[in-house]
């Protein structure tokens, strides 16, 4: 981890045994005074690692707030390059970064924002061949991809690896966000739901237009991406009530935020009573 040149300052008092530099104390001051985070929570963030799949509309604002929050290690997987049309919503990329790999642009942004964060760019697509290795090496995963095949791949891989996943999707003026922890149980003892409990099958090919075809409100990506970062921070620190078993639906035309509760489906093929998905072989092409 990259450290400040400032001398380290020991945080004293109950639950504060760790070292922070004086720069970190000032940088994270508004977290340190929050009872729900404080020194212990900030130390959890410092020690945590998050994989962000996609450095685009959702991943860009998520990376911004994860870096600002002091998440110690960020791994970014994306095989795309920055284009001029990205800049309307992908706020960590600049005009000067056009034609550069998004991972390189994101790495430069994170380094400029917070030198205490280690960032690793993986300039390739997440696939059935590399997903488990990438996910096994982190604490939390964020899926900011823009296609259903990647969403099902990442959600299956996280369930198999036993890692929390925050996943979101963007429409033209609407978005959804949820958190998946199917490796854990609910208060009543039933398993937490999977992505396949919420969406058993992807929609038929061609029925959901792409962002380029349908358009998207730029600021919507910022709202949803910030909420994704918040859910990842919650997964690391542990406070309040998250979106496990709840789908947050955002409609910016009517400015409504609603939640839909969903539960474990015993017929789902991943964690159901007669599971048929035990590896990622079905995702291999």
Residue 70 has what pLDDT? 98
Q: Are residues 34 and 129 in the same domain?
A: no
Question: Is residue 62 in a domain?
Answer: yes
Residue 22's domain comprises: 8-41
Q: Are residues 12 and 118 in the same domain?
A: no
Q: Enter the tokens of residue 262.
A: 């969903």
* Range list of H helices, the chain: 22-27, 29-32, 38-47, 59-69, 102-113, 131-136, 148-161, 195-198, 211-214, 218-237
Q: Are residues 270 and 219 in the same domain?
A: yes
Q: Are residues 173 and 272 in the same domain?
A: yes
Residue 175 β-bridge partners: 170, 250
Residue 15 has what pLDDT? 41
Q: Are residues 159 and 29 in the same domain?
A: no
Residue 208 has what pLDDT? 80
Residue 285 has what pLDDT? 74
| pTM of the complete model beyond 0.85 | yes
Q: Are residues 20 and 119 in the same domain?
A: no
Residue 210 has what pLDDT? 81
Q: Tell me the angle at which helices 218-237 and 38-47 cross, rounded to the nearest 10 degrees.
A: 110
Q: What is the DSSP letter of 267?
A: T
Q: Tens of pLDDT along 85-111?
A: 999 999 999 999 999 999 999 999 999
Q: What is the CATH number of the domain that holds 264?
A: 3.40.50.720
Q: How far is CA 109 from the centre of its chain?
A: 17
Question: Is residue 180 in a domain?
Answer: yes
Question: Is residue 1 in a domain?
Answer: no
What is d(CA 200, CA 229) in angstroms, rounded to the nearest whole number? 26
Q: Are residues 88 and 31 in the same domain?
A: no
What is the DSSP code string of 158-197?
HHHHT--EEEEEE-SSEEEEEEE-TTSB-TTSSBPPPHHH
Q: Are residues 36 and 76 in the same domain?
A: no
Residue 50 β-bridge partners: 74, 140
What is d(CA 88, CA 222) in angstroms, rounded to the nearest whole number? 11
Q: Tens of pLDDT along 32-41?
A: 999 999 999 9
Q: Are residues 84 and 197 in the same domain?
A: yes
Total domains in the chain come to: 2
Catalytically active residues are 211
Q: Are residues 226 and 156 in the same domain?
A: yes
Residue 272 has what pLDDT? 96
Q: Enter the tokens of residue 68.
A: 């600002």
Question: Shortest CA distance to 100 belongs to which of 115, 120, 79, 116?
Answer: 79
Residue 206 has what pLDDT? 74
Q: What is the mean pLDDT of each run of 10 residues along the chain (285 residues)?
A: 35 49 96 97 98 98 98 98 97 98 98 97 97 98 95 98 98 97 94 97 82 91 98 97 97 97 97 96 89
What is d(CA 60, CA 56) in angstroms, rounded to the nearest whole number? 5
Q: Tell me the angle at which helices 102-113 and 59-69 cross, rounded to the nearest 10 degrees.
A: 30
Q: Are residues 209 and 122 in the same domain?
A: yes
What is d(CA 43, CA 95) in angstroms, rounded to the nearest whole number? 35
Q: Are residues 125 and 219 in the same domain?
A: yes
């Amino acid at each position: 981890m990259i450290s400040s040149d400032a001398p380290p300052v020991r945080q004293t008092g109950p639950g504060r045994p760790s070292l922070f530099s004086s720069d970190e104390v000032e940088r994270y001051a508004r977290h340190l005074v929050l009872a729900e985070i404080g020194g212990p929570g900030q130390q959890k963030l410092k020690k945590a690692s998050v994989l962000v799949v996609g450095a685009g509309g959702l991943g860009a604002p998520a990376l911004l707030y994860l870096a600002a929050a002091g998440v110690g290690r960020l791994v970014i997987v994306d095989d795309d390059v920055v284009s001029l049309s990205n800049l309307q919503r992908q706020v960590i990329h600049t005009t000067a970064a056009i034609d550069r790999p998004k991972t390189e642009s994101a790495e430069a942004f994170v380094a400029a924002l917070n030198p205490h964060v280690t960032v690793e760019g993986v300039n390739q697509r997440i696939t059935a061949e590399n997903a488990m290795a990438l996910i096994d090496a982190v604490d939390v995963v964020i899926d900011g991809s823009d296609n259903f095949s990647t969403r099902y791949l990442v959600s299956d891989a996280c369930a198999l690896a036993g890692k929390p996943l925050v996943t979101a999707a963007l429409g033209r003026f609407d978005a959804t966000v949820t958190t998946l922890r199917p490796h854990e149980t609910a208060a009543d003892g039933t398993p937490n739901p999977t992505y396949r409990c919420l969406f058993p099958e992807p929609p038929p090919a061609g029925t959901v237009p792409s962002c380029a075809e349908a358009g998207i409100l730029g600021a919507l990506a910022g709202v949803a991406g910030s909420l994704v970062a918040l859910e990842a921070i919650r997964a690391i620190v542990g406070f309040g009530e998250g979106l496990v078993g709840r789908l947050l639906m955002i409609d910016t035309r009517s400015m409504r935020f609603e939640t839909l509760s969903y539960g474990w489906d015993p017929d789902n093929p991943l964690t159901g009573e007669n599971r048929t998905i035990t590896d990622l072989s079905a995702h291999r092409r």
